[in-house]
Structure 1
């Protein structure tokens, strides 16, 4: 794939760290990578955004691009309206990703919040940009109780829109997972109908960049340039 959309079942579940890990693994495999953040919310003009954080963790060769930035931590459409700034259309996202794809082997497009968060006045979402690009979407999900429902709903929303759900990655796998997390690990593929493609250890984003880059491939399946094996992981954490 040339363009991969990274979405999730909600906010603060590890999308940026997952995006960073995919970028790091792809760079380690010899690929050139760009990270595109269509709408960055909740940071002021002086703060680094999610795309810059992905480049910091994944390496200086990663290209980081933002299309819009809004200071309040709200859905992009709401944040744009309150700040008086223009919204971002799915066409603009698709055009930016296509431009980056002409000079990079892999373009990672990180959404804001969950899949169906509104980006503009017409109610367009990241799924609309994915459809324009004919790009698959990777779903980032939490491990804890409730994730089966939210991940399954996200996968169903993608299928209803004719967008490929590539798989699911656990955005923050706890060091001491409870029973619900261990059961969810085994049940997610059958519930959501998409494969499990990785699990990022909790607090990985706080690692030094060199350590992060070295470890990233071990958190992700081969389809994401990694070496992670779901069967081995399930045996390690039986329900």
Structure 2
């Protein structure tokens, strides 16, 4: 699978849980990267015992192959969080080198972005996920939140990725409720058409991160291309009101 950069249409859409689901279902070795954890100030970057996305991934995927490159106390875009904290910003060259090193040792490297596609990581050269993806030859997975504007948000994100020359992104739905309502059910069909090969990478249910049997439930939520068993086209067809 190589390097996959996981971005989303907003905060709390389920990027980290999606990463954990993919890792739990993968047949080969998987490394997880959190480029910059913001909003937390404890221990050292990469300590999965501390709160944060890396810790959640480690717990769900049952993996200690986690790599947090930077951490800042302010819940802001990484470049601003670094500036306010006085800590060094994450340089693009350092991020590229570490991701390439991990890629050489693993079948898949999942890069969990901080903020959205346009979030800046360094105030000096203003690099974003697009710059990292170009440097490490990564694919994109866009995680879409479930809400009334989900089609517009998904369209804007996938179009932005495609406009940068990366082709159509894979798309997964995060936090799909047991009864999401007719608006979301209709929107699901349109979001699917925006995805690579017009097929969703997965539909992850709300509450997937809670309870037991995470791997079994993750497999049921991901398409075969991503290690799961879900026929996403049949799922979308069943959701039409």
- Note if contact 2:13-2:174 (Cα within 8 Å) is conserved in structure 1: yes
Aligned residue in 1 for 2:52: 49
Secondary structure in structure 2 of the residue aligned to 1:196: coil
1:202 to 202, 206, 227: 206
- Look up the SS of the partner of 2:169 in the other structure: strand
Which residue of 87, 100, 103 maps to 1:101?
103
Could you tell me which runs of 5 or more consecutive residues in structure 1 were left unpaired when the two chains were aligned. Answer: none
1:212 corresponds in structure 2 to 214
137 and 144 in structure 1: CA distance in 2 versus 1, 3 angstrom threshold:
same
Is 2:160 the counterpart of 1:157? yes
From 34, 37, 47, the equivalent of 2:34 is 37
Alignment length (residue pairs)? 233
Give the aligned partner of residue 189 of structure 2: 186
- Superposed, 1:114-193 pairs within 5 Å as 114-121=116-123, 122-191=125-194
Shift of 1:4: 0.7
Aligned to 1:204, the other structure's residue is in SS state coil
Shift of 1:22: 0.7
1:192 Cα deviation after fit: 6.1
Which string of whole-angstrom CA distances, capped at 9 and with x for unpartnered residues, describes residues 68-111 of structure 1? 00011111111111101111133322211111112211110000
Which 4+ runs in 1 deviate beyond 4 A? 191-194
User: CA–CA distance in 2 between the matches of 1:202 and 1:175?
Assistant: 8
CA RMSD of aligned residues (A): 1.6
Gaps of 5+ in 2: 44-49
- Work out whether residues 221 and 229 of structure 1, in 8 Å CA contact, stay in contact via their aligned partners in 2: yes
User: Can you list the C-alpha shifts for 1:25-76, whole angstroms capped at 9, x where unaligned?
Assistant: 11xx3x111100111111121533212211210113x500011000111111
